């Protein structure tokens, strides 16, 4: 697989009223992602509540996404789990169904003790799907595993033949830039903080994975287009709309808040699973009012017309 350019949406889990997964909603989610100009979807990760799902549910979701995508967009399957044995089952399954890539976070209960230990763990996971590109998913804020990523690349390129790169979800742009330029840009380093997309573009990012791309992709694609055209002030002004939205979003638990936006856009994803809880009716109303004060929904619509 070539390096990924453009935006990958980290999609949200969909549930029925009884709390079981709602596979029937996946085709319409995929259609929205295609129509919004996205390059792919990242499923069963943080926003997809991967750690809250059984591996059987995750496999069913992966199958539904691969089928619905039908090669129109890429499907990246997160296979991370606190058990490497379960990771390997998910990885092998993803390869079997034709996923475009797999990715895994570090174990988040018994944590890797060193870069070498982390690489050894990822190598075991990646080897279960040897013909599928593998991305290490670095998200220290959630896993508590923050190690030097250049050291990781140096050791991982030896032990992980199918290493494609890193899903880099951290604000350390200097290290991100170093990873982009390691071995003359050998690896695909996908940026993971939506509200910092423009700064990431400035240091060389070409591809990004994020949750808010699920409902605001046109806004970010406009940022990328303006930046590519050298219209830096306009790109910054457009990025600020995303920043303002995120500043409202983080006043609430981020995943439930984003699920509420999806509902505002007509996608009833159902209630998230404990310990996550949906916004209350008042919180949802207050949040919607705040977004409307920012004219967020109209700004996204206008951006859609320009890309």
Half-sphere exposure of 174 toward its Cβ, with a 13 Å CA cutoff? 1
> What's the number of CA atoms in the CB half-sphere (13 Å) around residue 137?
28
Q: What is the pLDDT of residue 143?
A: 82
What is the DSSP secondary structure assignment for residue 91, as one 8-state letter? Answer: H
Identify the bridge partners of residue 41 per DSSP, sorted by sequence position.
Answer: 9, 75
The DSSP result for 237-272, as a single string, is HHHHHHHHHHHHHTTS-HHHHHHHHHHHTT----PP
Alpha-carbon gap, residue 145 to 142, rounded angstroms: 8
Catalytically annotated residue among 15, 65, 135, 137: 137
List, in order, residues 6 or more apart from 53 with CB less than 8 Å away: 13, 21, 44, 61, 273
Q: How far is CA 264 from the centre of its chain?
A: 21
Return d(Cα 213, Cα 221) in angstroms, integer: 9
Query: C-alpha 75: how far from its chain's center?
Result: 11
Beta strands in 86-182 (DSSP E): 101-105, 134-138, 163-168
Task: Note if the bond before 185 is cis, omega within 30 degrees.
Answer: no
For tokens 């979800």, name the residue. 169
pLDDT at 146: 82
* Cα–Cα dist 251/253, whole Å: 7
Smallest CA-to-CA distance from 125 within 110, 107, 151, 144 is with 107
DSSP classification of residue 14: -
| Secondary structure class of 1 (helix, strand, coil) | coil
* pLDDT, position 147: 85
Catalytic (active site) residue 136: no
C-beta of residue 80 within 8 angstroms of C-beta of residue 10 = no
Ranges of residues in the chain with a pLDDT under 70 are: 306-307
DSSP-derived 3-state class of residue 138: strand
Q: Cα–Cα–Cα angle for 108, 144, 118, nearest 5°? A: 65
- Contact assessment for residue 279 and residue 260, using Cβ atoms and an 8 Å cutoff: yes
Provide the β-strand partners of residue 105.
Answer: 137
Q: Which residue from 258, 188, 176, 171 is spatially nearest to 4, judged by alpha carbons?
A: 188
The first and second tokens of residue 84, run together, are: 């490497």
Is 137 one of the catalytic residues?
yes
Distances from the Cα of 159 to the Cα of 24, 127, 166, 223, angstroms: 39, 10, 15, 37
Helix (H, G, I), strand (E, B) or coil at 186: coil
Return the structure tokens found at 61: 């979701």
Catalytic residue among 65, 89, 135, 167, which?
Answer: 167
């Amino acid at each position: 697989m070539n390096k990924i350019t453009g935006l990958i949406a980290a999609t949200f889990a969909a549930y029925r009223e009884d709390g079981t997964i709602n596979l029937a909603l996946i085709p319409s989610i995929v259609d929205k992602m295609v129509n919004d100009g996205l390059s792919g979807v990242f499923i069963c990760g943080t926003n997809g509540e991967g750690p809250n799902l059984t591996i059987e549910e995750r496999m069913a979701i992966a199958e539904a996404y691969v089928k619905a995508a039908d090669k129109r967009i890429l499907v990246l399957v997160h296979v991370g789990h606190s058990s490497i044995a379960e990771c390997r089952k998910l990885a092998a399954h993803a390869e079997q169904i034709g996923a475009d890539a797999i990715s895994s976070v570090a174990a988040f209960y018994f944590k890797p003790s060193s870069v070498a230990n982390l690489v050894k763990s990822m190598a075991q996971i990646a080897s279960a799907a040897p013909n599928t590109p593998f991305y290490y998913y670095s998200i220290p804020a959630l896993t508590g595993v923050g190690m030097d990523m250049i050291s990781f690349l140096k050791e991982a390129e030896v032990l992980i033949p199918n290493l494609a790169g890193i899903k880099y979800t951290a604000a350390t742009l200097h290290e991100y830039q170093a990873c982009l330029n390691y071995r003359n840009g050998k690896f695909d380093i996908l940026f993971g903080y939506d509200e910092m997309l423009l700064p990431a573009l400035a240091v060389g990012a070409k591809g990004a994975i994020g949750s808010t791309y699920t409902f605001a992709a046109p806004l970010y694609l406009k940022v990328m287009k303006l930046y590519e055209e050298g219209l830096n002030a306009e790109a910054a002004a457009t990025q600020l709309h995303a920043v303002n939205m995120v500043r409202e979003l983080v006043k609430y638990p981020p995943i439930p808040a984003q699920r509420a936006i999806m509902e505002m856009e007509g996608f009833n994803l159902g209630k998230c699973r404990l310990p996550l809880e949906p916004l209350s009716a008042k919180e949802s109303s207050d949040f919607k009012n705040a977004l409307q004060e920012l004219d967020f929904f109209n700004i996204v619509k206008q951006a859609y017309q320009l890309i």
